[in-house]
Every structure is written in C-alpha cells, then in structure tokens.
Amino acid sequence: MKKEYWIIDTDKSNSVTNTREAIGPYPSKKAAETAVLNYIRDVWHGSCTCLKTDTQPDWCAPLLIVEVVRSVVPKITAKIELIDA
C-alpha cells in the first residue's frame, strides 16, 4: 500500500454524529502540509480586515495531518448450522 495522508479539520464537527471533515488523500506529508498552508492562506485573504489582527485569539482550530496505516473493508458472513436438539 502506498503512503497516503489526509487532513482532518477539527473545527467542523457534526454535533449529532461527532464526525470530522477529512480532505485528501495526499501522497506525502509535505504535500498535505502545503495544502494546509494554501488553504489557510486562501481563508486569510478572503477574511475581513477586522479578523486580520495579531490580537485575534485561536484563529482556527487545529488541523490534523494523519497517515493511513491500514485500509480495511468489513466482511460480514453468516454461518448457519444444524445442531442436535
């Protein structure tokens, strides 16, 4: 399996299912880091001037860069057998 990296945005949680948005895959950690920088740069440029201050606390929630260590597919089987009563 080739290495694969994803970005998880911890700020976009679904309050019902407690899920997060994942963006990717990226072929390397460096590619994921570059994508994070480009994303934040775009958000910054699109923000109003009042948000572009050094006093703005917690400008965004952490973005996680994660590496896929295993890919699985659930396989459900039913086993039916007859036993003596």
Quote the CA–CA distance of 9 and 36 in Å, as a whole number: 10
The arithmetic mean of pLDDT across residues 68-80, rounded, is 91
With respect to residue 83, please indicate whether it lies within any of the assigned structural domains: no
> Does a structural domain hold residue 31?
yes
In a domain, 54, yes or no: yes
Q: Residue 46 sits in which domain range?
A: 5-67
Dihedral of CA atoms 72, 2, 4, 24 in degrees, nearest 10, equals: -90
How confident is the model over 21-57, as pLDDT tens digits?
899 999 999 999 999 999 888 887 887 776 667 666 6
The answer as to whether 84 is a domain residue is: no
Using pLDDT thresholds of 50, 70 and 90, give the confidence band for residue 72: very high
What percentage of the chain reaches a pLDDT higher than 70? 84
pTM of the model: 0.72
Asked if residue 17 is part of any domain, the answer here is yes
Distance, in Å, from the CA atom of 76 to the CA atom of 69, rounded to the nearest integer, reads: 22
Number of domains in the chain: 1
